[in-house]
A and B are shown apart, each in its own frame.
Chain A
Amino acid sequence: MAEVALHKVVKKYGEVEAVRAIDLDIPDNEFVVLVGPSGCGKSTTLRMIAGLEEITSGNIMIDGEVVNDLPPKDRDIAMVFQNYALYPHMTAFENMSFGLKLRKLPKEEIRQRVEHAARILDITELLDRRPKALSGGQRQRVAMGRAIVRNPKVFLFDEPLSNLDAKLRVQMRTEIKRVHQKVKTTTVYVTHDQVEAMTLADRVVVMNGGRIEQIGTPQDLYHKPATRFVAGFIGSPAMNFIPCRLEQAGNDLRVRVSDTIALPVPSSLAPRYKGLAGKEMLLGLRPEHITEPRHNGAGEPNQFSVTLDVVEPMGMETMVFFTINDTEFCGRVEPKSAVDAGATIRLQAGMDHMHIIDPASGAVL
């Protein structure tokens, strides 16, 4: 159990800057998820915390101690790898106890710790099997067990679920959360899957191009993204970004999306965007906020008619895709309002949830 802190940490490979002066403070027992697209620097950051990559400049601290030059074994961390990295010639028990044996712990204590971890992960019956005889999910449990028995200050997970099939991934995700609730330990978890990030994290760190775009709780990131990148990365299907112009019409502010569609800015948000009237901006609206109207009113200014290009029934919801002014939109309707591609339907924009983004800086205003 420990705090982890990164101060102005930089990692360069030759001239390429993989991680650009990031600052991150992780309090004791927190579950932090680093998320971002491939090459954003999230795995490099995790590996620097583990001591598997040297840092170019800056400081990494674990429990208040600078660990920049400490080898991995002296950092008191445990890591779970994407491809399990189990020793193939050892049984699950031997895999889990390897680190403890190297630390010369008494045999009895090793046995107790392994059995305790095995009970937590429900793998007691698998302890005498070699990795070859285990399924993907079981192997990942053993890999987690190897981390748990060490009772480390920090758990590091490097995309541990990427190799599992979709169903098992959901199961293991729950398992990881359950284990973290039982074994309260500071955890840094890397993934490119925003659903994993949202479901597991106390706080999510969104990375892009070697920088931290935003740090926040899953709800914060979803509802109050700081940048266009975060707004687009978090949430599935992704947020719609619609080129628009803000217009002042008397006392009202409107978002003009096309010649025929001008959506009203709610009065609660109008003061915030008043100064932007006349400017070309981007309107950000999540698909769940473009939906069929509760009551059909031709005069409602936040309603509009569209012809659907593609309809994707998902079971509990149906996604509809349509185009306005060459921009593709995604909306979400109830499955009962079954529609076909080519049909014209009326939709309503939930403008209370709108975001206005500066197209030049990408900042959500």
Chain B
Amino acid sequence: MSAPAITMPATGAVKKGVSLRQSRRWALIASYVFLVMFAIFFLLPPYYMIVTAFKSDAEMARLATNPWLIVDGATLDQFKILLTQTDFLIFFKNTVIVTVCVVAITMVVSVLAAFSLGRMQFWGSSLLATGIFLTYLVPDTLLFIPMFQIVKSIGLLNSYWGMVLVYPTLTVPFCTWIMIGYFQSIPKELDEAALIDGAGHLQMLLKIFIPVALPGIIAATIFAFTVSWAAFVYPMAFLYSSDQQVLTVGTVTSLIRGDVYKWGMLMAGALLAAAPPLVIYAFLMDYYIAGLTAGATKG
């Protein structure tokens, strides 16, 4: 009688261990399957873009060839023509100016707004914080009509400086919201220690909060950069001269003439336009130091 009583629990324990391992293995297999599907789905368009950008017009015109492979050998012709015979470099320069200005304006405004809303308790601060986020929820496809009137009335229609004015309406609310969260997560004792050490509010912001909230600030910078680099609706509506155009709209409008699509140059342009965000993401991700705040307080 005693033998089964002893072996039963032991068998049960072994079974439990195996089932845990098995369930982990199945979870991993499922994860890999879905991740691979996901990666293929999202990497196919960039792959197609790269392959097409390095093809010659002649190869593209031959419908018999496989569109996923370069058969005649890679060529830089599309890039050469794009950079020398179109306004691509002007679009690129305009986009860089707009983006740098927008990111700078956004970061200055959002950091100051987030610091005051997140750390300096005052009457109505939480209501204001919610209000700022609500403005982000209004889509730009609805806003561009009243914005058009505003931009026109101040004489910035068909000028990329108009974009410098308009894009922050998209970036500031969200960046402020991200950074309010970051600033609020910094322990209260840190500003109290700084106050006792003799820091004023500006010194506290510059010497304590900005360095400590760097991951949040980088996240907000990436967001502001992405929004202004990739914006389409506003430049489409507000800019119509080539010399004022930005990459997103300029590339499309200058390389699609009627029903003629210059696929090679379009893809080369898209590739060049995608390069700066790629580089910046790769570079800033290294600085995305999640553990920077570790050690500030117990934890």
Measured CB to CB, the residues of A under 8 A from B are 50-52, 71-73, 77-79, 81-89, 98-99, 102-103, 130-134, 136, 139, 146, 150, 163
A89 touches B212 (CB 8 A): yes
7 contacts between A and B (CB under 8 A): A73-B197, A78-B196, A83-B189, A83-B298, A86-B295, A87-B194, A98-B207
CA distance A73 to B208 in the complex (A): 16
A132-B297 contact in complex given A52-B195, A83-B187, A99-B198, C-beta closer than 8 Å: no
**Candidates B193, B203, B295, B297; contact of A130 at CB < 8 Å:** B295
Interface residues on B, range: 20 to 34
CA distance A81 to B197 in the complex (A): 13
Beta-carbon contacts under 8 Å, B243-299 to A = 291-298
- Whether the Cβ atoms of B199 and A102 lie closer than 8 Å is yes
Of A72, A85, A98, A136, which is in contact with the most chain B CB atoms at under 10 Å from its CB? A85
* A-B residue pairs, 4 tightest by C-beta: A131-B295, A99-B197, A132-B295, A83-B297
Determine whether the beta carbon of A79 is less than 8 Å from that of B296.
no
Q: Which residues of A contact B211 (CB under 8 A)?
A: 87, 89
Q: Quick check: B212 and A87 within 8 Å, CB to CB?
A: yes
Identify the closest chain A residue to B195 (Cβ): A72
In the assembled complex, how far is the CB of residue A33 from the closest CB belonging to chain B, in whole angstroms? 20
Q: With both chains docked as a complex, state the minimum distance between the C-beta of B298 and any C-beta of chain A, in angstroms.
A: 4
The distance from the CB of A294 to the nearest CB of chain B, in whole angstroms, is 48
- How distant is the Cα of A220 from the Cα of B291 in the complex, in angstroms? 48
Contact across chains for B195 and A73 when beta carbons are under 8 A apart: yes
| B292–A85 CB distance below 8 A | no
A140 and chain B: residue at smallest CB distance: B298
> Which residues of chain A have C-beta atoms less than 8 A from B293's C-beta?
88
Contact of A79 among B190, B192, B298 (CB under 8 A): B192
Question: Can you name the residue of chain B whose Cβ is closest to the Cβ of A81?
Answer: B189
Contact partners of B195 in chain A: CB under 8 A? 51-52, 71-73
* Contacts A79-B192, A81-B192, A132-B291; A87 near B296 (Cβ below 8 A): yes
Which residues of chain B are near A134, meaning CB under 8 Å?
295
Q: In the complex, are the beta carbons of B192 and A52 less than 8 A apart?
A: yes
Measured in the bound complex, the distance between the Cα atoms of B203 and A73 in whole Å is 13
B214, B296, B298: the one within 8 Å of A136 (CB): B298
Q: Are B298 and A163 in contact (CB under 8 A)?
A: yes
Which residues of B sit under 8 angstroms from A88, Cβ to Cβ?
Answer: 212, 292-296
Contact A77 B296 (CB under 8 A): no
Residues of A close to B198: CB separation below 8 A: 73, 99, 102-103
Report which residue of A71, A88, A130, A132 has the largest number of chain B beta carbons within 10 angstroms of its beta carbon. A88
Min CB gap B279→A, angstroms? 26
**Contact status A79-B295, CB under 8 Å:** no
- B295 nearest CB across to chain A (Å): 3
Tally of contacts, chain A with chain B, CB under 8 A: 87
Residue of A at shortest CB range from B189? A85
Q: Which residue of A is nearest B298, CB measured?
A: A163
By a CB distance below 8 angstroms, the chain B residues around A103 are 198
Nearest opposing residue in chain B for A73, CB measure: B198
User: A90 — nearest CB in chain B belongs to which residue?
Assistant: B211
A103 CA to B189 CA, complexed, in Å? 20
Q: Are A131 and B196 in contact (CB under 8 A)?
A: no
Q: Which of A102, A146, A163 has the most CB of B within 10 A?
A: A102
User: B294, A132: Cβ atoms under 8 Å?
Assistant: yes
Out of B203, B207, B296, name the residue touching A85 (CB < 8 Å).
B296
Q: Are B298 and A98 in contact (CB under 8 A)?
A: no
Are A85's CB and B295's CB within 8 A?
no
CB closest residue in chain A, given B192: A52
Chain B residue nearest to A77 in the complex (CB): B196
Contacting pair A87 B196 (CB below 8 A): no
A132 contact set on B, CB distance < 8 A: 291, 294-295
- Which residues of B198-239 have CB atoms within 8 Å of chain A's CB atoms? 198-199, 203, 207-208, 211-212, 214
Tell me if B199 and A139 are in contact (CB < 8 A): no
- Complex CA gap A57/B197 in Å reads 26
Give CA–CA (A88, B208) in the complex, Å: 9
**What are the residues of chain A within 8 A of B296 when measuring CB–CB?**
84-88, 131
Expressed in whole angstroms, the minimum distance between the Cβ of B24 and any Cβ of chain A is 32
In contact, A81 and B193 (Cβ under 8 angstroms): yes
How far, in whole Å, are A130 and B190 apart by their CA atoms in the complex?
Answer: 15
Chain B residue contacts of A131, Cβ below 8 A: 295-296
Q: How far is the CB of A28 from chain B (nearest CB, A)?
A: 21
Asked whether B294 lies within 8 Å of A79 as measured between CB atoms, the reply is no
Q: Can you name the residue of chain A whose Cβ is closest to the Cβ of B191?
A: A85
What is the minimal beta-carbon distance from A27 to any residue of chain B, in angstroms? 23
Distance in angstroms from A13 CB to nearest chain B CB is: 13
Report the bound CA distance from A81 to B192 in whole Å. 9
How far, in whole Å, are A271 and B91 apart by their CA atoms in the complex?
102
A45 to chain B, nearest CB (A): 15
| A142–chain B nearest beta-carbon distance, Å | 10
Q: Are A133 and B193 in contact (CB under 8 A)?
A: no
Chain B residue nearest in CB terms to A143:
B193
Instruction: State how many angstroms separate the Cβ of A279 from the closest Cβ of chain B.
Output: 50
CB neighbours of A102 from chain B (8 A): 197-199, 203
Assembly CA distance A67 to B291 (angstroms):
39
CB distance from B227 to the nearest CB of A (A): 28
CB distance from A165 to the nearest CB of B (A): 11
